[in-house]
Structure 1
């Protein structure tokens, strides 16, 4: 096995163009394929930016290059120094004629599935060897798109004056309530992994007015479906002096901005995924909870007022609402304790969910900003206000009216990458059955 020695990359694959014909270059990457035609051998080398062809003619390359051919297999990691040669048959119209090859790593076994085939084994088998599965072009395309999405989201919020914050992920009590919590021993006390940054971001509006966070959340939900994970990435904002209508508009704009960035900067990746993405045209349709119940009734599905909406219900109207849309004005009883009720109709709250077809992407609303009301809501939900004293005492010093939302980055990526299983858009997913790799 060789070492890199003093060999260092001078070019990426997409830099190997006819315009640098005759130049000496150094590239690194993984061998995607090998084709032998008598004394002529073609290697396709893949790196961060794409692929480049290496052409080795047994009669015209140095002996040290010829001797290493037998040690090179698909999935080998190599470094190559050579001259660029223009040829119409090669990717980007140019290839490399090697003068030196360093074989840096040779696989001891081949992947149990083909990395360049359309047909694949089920995702659980691929997740067992996730780092290798991520070498597939389609898989890499997903995470390049996700990277672009994250850059766009951060850029949008920063340009609009939001401060990025980081809130604790080890907390003393439930944020959302319920049993979907991961308990842990925090020295000699019981603690939990955070379900969301909700209460902390509310408090921060009193200091910074506009905050956002991109970070992990943890839900010990019993459902194991194609859209649920135990660890996910949430994008959250909270803003002072606004209502749920205002932050709905913010969410709509950040989604449109993100998709516009992806369509502009990820054309090749979208093509690999066969996704002819178009940026949505705002405003997104707004449908009240009551209107959704009426639509369902027309489809023969009767949901009692106040009940949650199940995916099986929403699928009945997906053909009428196939793209992004908001469901607004939910029953107060169906939302978290910190969501503000309407002044004229306390049974309805100032809340919304962002949907894409039958998939929930985000949830948000106006927040309660009066301590007495918040205490009353906690008691109604059978929560002990004493457990929330760290949050309630902030209200003694005043807190501005505020609103916000949180959206699941991974669920949004399911939509943007046309994936039916959320595990395809998470590097190392965690659920009830999977703690490794």
Structure 2
């Protein structure tokens, strides 16, 4: 719309055309107001019934909430209006009439269940609080990309349809691919490692991953956004440095550029950018600290994975983001390199928020023979991964990297109760539409 003015830019003394949704109509008798909403905010349209054309008044006050309209008129100063100005309309055009019965209330005055909101996501995003989450999510992704570029990364895009899973046959979504069995990719892990051998040396990707997990919890999805990093000629410690810098950059960008959205979410006073270095706690120390809290029914022993309860107990004890390092080799995937001095210990690490795991990473095994041994030790057939393993015969440098859950980052950053709040159209065990 060529001559459109956003509501936030409507200044007294101008004649403007604004366009948006009918947020609310307030009829006070001789005077009435239509509140119009666009992406920048709201503005009040004033109708003095006795002084205006009857058809204009009827059009403006007879339209249903959430209908799309354009209004042309003079902007006047009005201290009692929500934004200090109002428009006296000369003309109103209804571009799209909304049905009178809405499945949810975009004004937010009447709450709706999460399932109802997700079924009607377009309407749900008309609420300021929901829109704010996705404005912040967009800023997080922008900042993450900028930080990756600042540390010398090249952005890549890897296949999402693959012949075999990243970590074998578990948690895979099978599909039919021209008469052959294929799968939705669990991770860009193997492909980003191949790019390290290509000479690009340092890469990142932000894209979807698919996991056929049976979990149906507030923190699990079957399609998620993975933020991935991989670099040649670094070890796991330098990979953790990069991880910390990316997470901190995301927080800093939100603090600097999303003040209005944080205010809308009620987080303006409590949002904090992590300033201190993230502690690096060995797996052995983590087990000891969790057991010392007394929060678990049974004590953990070496080789146990960490349950949700264990993660929370340790998170409460640490109180901020932290790394768990030096995991047992048997727990980590085949591509994670073991410590040369102790093959029972891996170079794998997880980066944790007090609420949950955000990142999994480590130094990779770059030696062909050791890589194949890793496959065999975990019961995988190296021949099924030949496209990957054979490239390690042709000069693969030492390298390390990690994958960060995009939705989990936003969820923990904004203290959202359910990860689905950070996804436009979630995919889980029950939800395939919209």
Kept in 1: contact 2:103–2:120 (CA 8 A): no
Equivalent-residue separation in structure 1 for 2:103 and 2:335 (angstroms): 50
Q: How does 1:25-424 map to 2 (within 5 A)?
A: 25-117=16-108, 120-206=111-197, 207-275=199-267, 276-300=270-294, 301=296, 302-424=299-421
Structure-2 separation of matches of 1:119 and 1:247: 46
- SS of residue in 1 equivalent to 2:89: strand
- Structure 1 residues 214 and 278: CA distance shift in structure 2, 3 A: same
What is the aligned counterpart of 2:9 among 9, 12, 15?
Answer: 15
* 1:204–1:211 contact (8 Å) kept in structure 2: yes
TM-score by length of 1: 0.95
The TM-score normalised by the length of structure 2 is: 0.95
Query: Which sections of structure 2, spanning at least 5 residues, go unmatched?
Result: none
Q: Distance in 2 between matches of 1:27 and 1:132?
A: 20
Q: Hey, what's the Cα distance between the residues in 1 that align with 2:81 and 2:413? A: 31
Contact 2:4 2:19 in 1 (8 A): no
Contact 1:22/1:84 (<8 A) preserved: yes
Pairwise CA distance, 1:14 = 1.2
**Cα distance, 1:64 vs. partner?**
4.2
Distance change in 2, residues 1:225/1:9 (3 Å): farther
Distance 1:119 1:369 in 2: 57
**CA displacement 1:247-280 (0-9 Å, x = unmatched):** 1111111111111110111112111211221111
Separation in structure 1 between the aligned mates of residue 42 and residue 50 of structure 2, nearest angstrom: 25
The alignment covers a number of residue pairs equal to: 428
> How far apart, CA to CA, are the structure 2 residues paired with 1:315 and 1:75?
42
Query: Residue 59 of structure 1 aligns to a residue in which SS?
Result: helix
Runs (5+) with no aligned partner, structure 1: 1-6
What is the deviation of 1:10? 2.8
Are the structure 2 counterparts of residues 54 and 368 from structure 1 closer, same or farther at C-alpha, using a change threshold of 3 Å? same
Equivalent-residue separation in structure 2 for 1:118 and 1:290 (angstroms): 50
Provide the rounded CA distance (Å) in 1 between the counterparts of 2:247 and 2:23: 35
